[in-house]
Amino acid sequence: MNGINYLIILRIMISLNSYAKLNIGLEILDERKDGFHDISTIITKIDLSDQIYFDLSDENKVIQKGIKEKNNIVYKVLMYMLEKYNSRQKVNINIIKNIPYSSGMGGGSSNAAVAIEGINQILSLNLDSKEKFDIGLRFGSDIPFFLSNSTAKVTGRGDKITFIKSPNMKNIVIFHPKYELLNKTQKVFKNNSIFTDGKNQKKILNEINNNIKIKGPIFNGLEKSALDIFENLDNIKK
């Protein structure tokens, strides 16, 4: 071409959805000596999602509105994986949030799980499922769930995950009141005084396994604690 050399640089970008989760009921079985609680719940992914973009760059960067980079779990996952796999490449990650903050829908854990998968892809690490699950467990007990495409029964402190068939759920209405309170989940757990034996979750699991429509109301073991803490929350329930 007239003796002119052309250099074409292709910039690879990966875009992944980071889905929210919904608890189909929740029971608090016991308070553990380590400060956590034994729970029983069924969780499933819903269509609400964040969008996360990954590309190789000249510096490691995690961009998310409203949170300092070094406090972001995605940044911590990125730094860990780069060190663990001795990668000299640098990754830029941009998170577009749609899942409300502190909503109990697993936004942070979902983002961390998708970060593991996105970094795996952009760096061509070829990690298997167990390797990705093990990384997830370092940063949160529920992160492995978000690395799957299934519904799960969750017990223990949230770290015992058994994948089950997905329920037949079509339309869901979600209310998210904007209560400004740091560490909401921890405070609701700490305030809880109701412990149950798991029979409510067994009933829901039986309905799912037998393709029976889940019958409400669905028991939430933290409902009373939340109602005690958050003023006017009961009005939304009504």
Among 97, 78, 96, which Cα is nearest to 87's?
A: 78
How far apart CA 103 and CA 20 sit, in angstroms, is 10
Among 15, 72, 17, which Cα is nearest to 45's?
A: 17
Residue type, 199: K
Active site residue 130: no
Among 110, 104, 77, 105, which Cα is nearest to 186's?
A: 104
How far apart CA 18 and CA 49 sit, in angstroms, is 5
Catalytic residue among 21, 45, 132, 153: 21
Active site residue 34: no
- What is the three-class DSSP state of 13? strand
C-alpha pair distances (Å), 108 with each of 24, 31, 62, 205, 211: 19, 24, 13, 26, 31
**Parallel/antiparallel/unpaired status of strands 37-57 and 13-31:** antiparallel
Catalytic residue among 45, 50, 142, 153: 142
Alpha helices in 45-183 (DSSP H): 73-84, 107-122, 129-139, 143-146
Q: Write out the catalytic residue numbers.
A: 21, 142
